[in-house]
A and B are shown apart, each in its own frame.
Chain A
Amino acid sequence: MDIFVTGGTGFLGKHVVAKLLADGHTVRCLVRPTSEVEALRSTVSEEQRPRLHFVPGQLQKLTPDLLAGCDAVCHIAAAMKGATAALFVDNVIGVRKLLKVTAEAGTKRVVLISSLAVYDTSGLKNNDVLDETCPLEPQPQLRDPYTYSKLAGEQVAWEAYRAGQCPLVVIRPGVIYGPGRDPLSSRVGLNFGKLLIKMGGSQRLPYVRVEACAAGIALAVTTPGIEGQAFNLLDGELVRARTFLRYYRRGHRGLWVIPVPGWAIGPLAKFNVWYSKRSHGQIPPVLTPYKCNAMWKPLQYSVEKAKSVLGWVPQPNTLDGVQGL
């Protein structure tokens, strides 16, 4: 297959490109003037290089001719931080522009990389199972700016799907880890340099190893007849935050940890909201009960759908996956 990939120079994208090339596909990779093209090229073998092409451009300025003749689009590109407006430019308007172009080019499969964070977990009780049947977040503006933008982007794609303009498959990975990415994430706590405010500890971390994630995405590109479906990608056995941190601190001796027990997260968030209001926003409401609930509630996760429909094999367990990182 001839596959157009956005975000191929990013952390996840590099692995997806490698996997697609290894599976024998041709890859056209959208790159910006500042993209680290060499870093991607160097991961590709001599034999595969003729099948890797670079397309200079930007999401917002794509034209249908760039997609002419390609069988599928794999949309991995996204801004990960910044103000809400800037995130929307890449993650919402970017999706809108891309889908307009794929519709014009008649692309047969669009795989959108979304995020596990898009679910509405407020209806779930502690230790309930989160799977693809969970509804999407109804009030995304109350979440952090990145999640808000990813959700809005995914919704744009579903609208296009429902309008019959986009043969869509959505992938929702958990927190992606692997070589080159610090596995300490906000699912464990709030990290300020050498200081970590550990939030709870008993919650399982919804992590996914990058190579397995890339393999899942490659399957979503090629598996026939799965349009209109979403798949969560996570490791087989997830580690608890406290176990992960115990392991992680062995390799990071200088980390200072202030623990906030699970029961204290709610009151702390309420205090943050109260103080933020009282102080007219002198300190913003970074922690709200709503965000905390979505971030640190202990849940179970299921990847049965990806396993059975895509034939995906996850990384068996996170604790093994993070060894040596």
Chain B
Amino acid sequence: MSSEKLRVALIGCGQIADAHLGEIRKLAHAEPVAVCDRERDLAVQAAARFEVPQIFDDVEQMLATARPDVVHITTPPHTHKALAIAALRGGAHVYVEKPFTVDVAEADEVIAVAESAGRLACVGHDQLFDPCWVECRQLFEKGNLGDIVHVDSVQGYDLTGIFGRLVSSDPEHWVRRLPGGVFQNTISHALYKITEFLPDTRPHIQALWFPTPDSGGLKSELRVMLRGEQVTASLISSFAARPVQRLARIYGTKDTVEVDLEARLVRKYYKLSAPGPFAKIEGPYRQSKEAKRNFWKAVRKFWKSDLQYFAGMNGLFDRFYRAILTGGPPPITHGEIRRVTDIMDRIFATCQQQELEFARSNS
């Protein structure tokens, strides 16, 4: 790997840009060289806080002047395609926040441009590189889980948070104009945890979405069932359920684990061997032992400064940059980006169809 640092630029200085700039700063083989936002005030504040030398409010000018090796795109999804293509044509590799594009047709366009330019495109599926997800993947790869039977993936969301209130108070908010509404902006994280273990290109999909009485007409609940050749999955996205969760349960033929992204924990399920009522004592006992182990592990990690909130993002950036520098395999392939986008499109199409049928049967 050359000792040259990758020159990274970022377009879209909203909230998530802070995480990107903070994590890029931590990596030895990259440095942020420019930030760009249509609203110059936003670019100015990001540059000031993260000590980024160049500020732009025009993408073409940024590409021509800063000549970045990599461009991070952290703008709303409907702008991803045009910005990613501009950056790729400008000679940069692109890292696009999730969801990659608004639909698979757009994703195909971006990927085609990347491949003809000999550049890499990556998508922000960062939780796949969170330490607890990496631990779960290793359990699978070592064969501890056996073959995967089913994945449950749960994604909560708090509409009373700052972004949520913006969305619910503004009927013209860009999130509402996405084909998948608010879900398009949120369920990538839940979906790519499923696709990691469900290899099918076109799984069978059943899906429905609906509002809750207090969501102000906003479709805020989503339920999806996916069925592949070998593996099934369920995806729950809920704005109503508390606490807000980011959970996945992976059922294997040998063992089942639960990955809790909030607590950064992999919980095991135990086959109990004590007879009769003693099994009901053995269960909590084993869980308490596991909890104690996890507690001390977390304390040790804290001591070693290893409880970084955006560890997954850092891991993904690191792997992406290494792939660029060494020409090695990318952490997320273009094929996988396309597949996840396509499945997401089909989930929303199924929801829309289901909604029509529901309306028809009610009238």
Q: Which residues of A contact B (CB under 8 A)?
A: 32-34, 58, 81-86, 88-89, 92-93, 96, 141, 148-149, 152, 156, 278-282
Q: How far is the CA of A148 from the CA of B46 in the complex (A)?
A: 12
Judging by beta carbons under 8 Å apart, are A84 and B49 in contact? Answer: yes
Judging by beta carbons under 8 Å apart, are B45 and A141 in contact? Answer: yes
Decide if B359 is an interface residue (CB 8 Å cutoff).
Answer: no
Decide if B118 is an interface residue (CB 8 Å cutoff).
Answer: no
Question: Which stretch from B9-17, B124-132, B217-225, B234-242 is at the chain A interface?
Answer: B9-17
Q: How far is the CA of A25 from the CA of B13 in the complex (A)?
A: 41
Judging by beta carbons under 8 Å apart, are A85 and B302 in contact? Answer: no
A-B contact pairs, 23 of them (CB 8 A): A33-B169, A33-B171, A34-B168, A58-B170, A81-B162, A83-B14, A83-B15, A85-B17, A86-B14, A86-B15, A86-B163, A88-B41, A89-B42, A92-B41, A141-B45, A141-B48, A148-B45, A152-B41, A152-B44, A278-B305, A280-B308, A281-B22, A282-B308
Kindly identify which residue among A32, A88, A156 contacts B45, using a CB–CB cutoff of 8 Å.
Answer: A88
Kindly identify which residue among A85, A149, A278, A279 contacts B14, using a CB–CB cutoff of 8 Å.
Answer: A85
Q: Which residue of B lies closest to A139 (CB)?
A: B48
Chain A's nearest CB lies how many Å from the CB of B74?
Answer: 10
Q: Which residue of A lies closest to B307 (CB)?
A: A282
In order of increasing CB-CB distance, the 3 nearest A-B pairs are A279-B305, A141-B48, A34-B169
Decide if B165 is an interface residue (CB 8 Å cutoff).
Answer: yes
Q: How far is the CA of A278 from the CA of B307 in the complex (A)?
A: 13
Q: Which residue of A lies closest to B171 (CB)?
A: A33
Decide if B39 is an interface residue (CB 8 Å cutoff).
Answer: yes
Given contacts A34-B165, A278-B305, contact A83 B18 (CB under 8 A): yes
Q: How far is the CA of A89 from the CA of B12 in the complex (A)?
A: 13
Decide if B268 is an interface residue (CB 8 Å cutoff).
Answer: no
Q: How far is the CA of A234 from the CA of B331 in the complex (A)?
A: 57
Q: How far is the CA of A315 from the CA of B15 in the complex (A)?
A: 39
Kindly identify which residue among B41, B165, B305, B307 contacts A96, using a CB–CB cutoff of 8 Å.
Answer: B41
Q: How far is the CA of A278 from the CA of B306 in the complex (A)?
A: 11
Judging by beta carbons under 8 Å apart, are A280 and B305 in contact? Answer: yes
Residues of A within 8 A of B163 (CB): 86
Decide if B26 is an interface residue (CB 8 Å cutoff).
Answer: yes
Chain A's nearest CB lies how many Å from the CB of B112?
Answer: 32
Judging by beta carbons under 8 Å apart, are A85 and B169 in contact? Answer: no
Restricting to B292-324, which residues have a CB under 8 Å from any CB of A? 302, 305-308
Q: Main SS of chain A's interface residues?
A: helix
Residues of A within 8 A of B45 (CB): 84-85, 88, 92, 141, 148-149, 152
Residues of A within 8 A of B170 (CB): 33, 58
Most chain B CB inside 10 Å of its own CB: which residue of A34, A82, A85, A281: A85
Q: How far is the CA of A304 from the CA of B214 in the complex (A)?
A: 50
Chain B's nearest CB lies how many Å from the CB of A35?
Answer: 9
Q: How far is the CA of A58 from the CA of B170 in the complex (A)?
A: 10
Q: Which residue of B lies closest to A149 (CB)?
A: B45
Residues of B within 8 A of A281 (CB): 22, 26, 308
Contact with A along B56-81 (1 / 0, CB 8 A): 00000000000000000000000000
Judging by beta carbons under 8 Å apart, are B22 and A85 in contact? Answer: no
Q: A82-B162, A93-B42, A282-B308 are in contact. List 13 more A-B contacts (CB 8 A).
A: A33-B169, A34-B165, A34-B169, A83-B14, A83-B162, A85-B15, A85-B17, A85-B45, A86-B162, A141-B45, A141-B49, A280-B26, A282-B307
Residues of B within 8 A of A279 (CB): 305
Chain A's nearest CB lies how many Å from the CB of B200?
Answer: 38
Chain B's nearest CB lies how many Å from the CB of A69?
Answer: 27
Q: How far is the CA of A89 from the CA of B17 in the complex (A)?
A: 14
Chain B's nearest CB lies how many Å from the CB of A62?
Answer: 15
Residues of B within 8 A of A96 (CB): 41
Q: How far is the CA of A86 from the CA of B49 in the complex (A)?
A: 15
Judging by beta carbons under 8 Å apart, are A84 and B18 in contact? Answer: yes
Residues of A within 8 A of B22 (CB): 281
Kindly identify which residue among B18, B26, B48 contacts A85, using a CB–CB cutoff of 8 Å.
Answer: B18
Most chain B CB inside 10 Å of its own CB: which residue of A86, A149, A282: A282
Q: How far is the CA of A233 from the CA of B14 in the complex (A)?
A: 33
Residues of B within 8 A of A34 (CB): 165, 168-169
Residues of A within 8 A of B15 (CB): 83, 85-86
Q: How far is the CA of A81 from the CA of B162 in the complex (A)?
A: 9
Residues of A within 8 A of B17 (CB): 85
Residues of B within 8 A of A156 (CB): 41
Judging by beta carbons under 8 Å apart, are A282 and B302 in contact? Answer: yes
Chain B's nearest CB lies how many Å from the CB of A150?
Answer: 13
Q: How far is the CA of A156 from the CA of B45 in the complex (A)?
A: 13
Q: Which residue of A lies closest to B302 (CB)?
A: A282
Q: How far is the CA of A82 from the CA of B163 in the complex (A)?
A: 9
Q: How far is the CA of A85 from the CA of B170 in the complex (A)?
A: 18
Q: How far is the CA of A81 from the CA of B15 in the complex (A)?
A: 13
